[in-house]
């Protein structure tokens, strides 16, 4: 035990921090061992969202190299202090199921952060002025119907509105030129996804 180091768990040595023969002080790390079996993603949370994300919150991870599927995950750790250079908070997100990936692969992490106020995020181009703010909802037969809304605030360049259910399709381009029961045409990307 005086000259040999052993790990408490099975894993992979991901980084060696000392050279052979080097004198090491008490408590100084010699290597970093990544436990096998546990798959985590590391993400950096912007200041404005860090206070709204908590341990155990739901997240989704998409590994760039393996395809477009989003994998369910859970926030496992959030740094107590922001990085002094980037002003972001390091977070670790544990994947809930086995994923075909290798250590060090890049990924996208989406964490479900609640809005600062209650409502639905809507692009500003979709909101029409007039007597009262409103949007145009698109029905299955591509007919536009007016829906009055109340603007609760702004977040990330979008309006937080009440009076509109989440998941509704609204007109964004040309909303100001519509009339009641007018027909709309879907953008090419929308047609491809139907």
| DSSP, res 163 | S
* Length in residues, the chain: 194
Banded pLDDT at 78 (limits 50, 70, 90): very high
How many CB atoms within 10 Å of residue 87? 11
**Lookup result for tokens 């998941």:** 167
Tokens in use for 87? 């002003």
pLDDT in tens, 122-156: 888 889 887 788 999 988 888 888 988 988 877 77
Give residue-wise pLDDT tens across range 18-45. 888 888 888 888 888 877 777 889 999 8
Per the CB < 8 A criterion, the answer to whether 75 and 98 are in contact is no
Judge residue 91's burial from the number of C-beta atoms within 10 Å of its C-beta, 0-12 exposed, 13-18 middle, 19 or more buried.
buried
Whole-number pLDDT of residue 193: 46
The encoded tokens of residue 135 equal: 């949007």
- DSSP code, position 124: G
């Amino acid at each position: 035990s005086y000259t040999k180091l052993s790990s408490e768990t099975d894993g992979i040595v991901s980084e060696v921090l000392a050279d052979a023969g080097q004198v090491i002080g008490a408590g100084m790390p010699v290597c970093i061992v990544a436990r096998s079996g546990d798959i985590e993603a590391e993400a950096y949370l912007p200041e404005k969202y860090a206070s709204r994300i908590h341990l155990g919150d739901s997240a989704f991870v998409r590994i760039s190299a393996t395809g477009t599927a989003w994998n369910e995950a859970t926030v496992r750790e959030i740094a107590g202090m922001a990085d002094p250079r980037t002003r972001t908070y390091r977070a670790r997100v544990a994947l809930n199921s086995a994923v075909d990936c290798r250590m060090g692969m890049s990924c996208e992490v989406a964490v479900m952060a609640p809005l600062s106020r209650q409502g639905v995020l809507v692009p500003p181009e979709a909101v029409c002025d007039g007597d009262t703010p409103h949007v145009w909802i698109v029905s299955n037969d591509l007919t536009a119907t007016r829906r009055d809304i109340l603007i609760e605030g702004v977040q990330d360049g979008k309006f937080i509105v009440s009076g509109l259910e989440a998941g509704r399709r609204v007109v964004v381009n040309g909303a100001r030129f519509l009339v009641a029961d007018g027909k709309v045409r879907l953008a090419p990307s929308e047609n491809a996804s139907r």
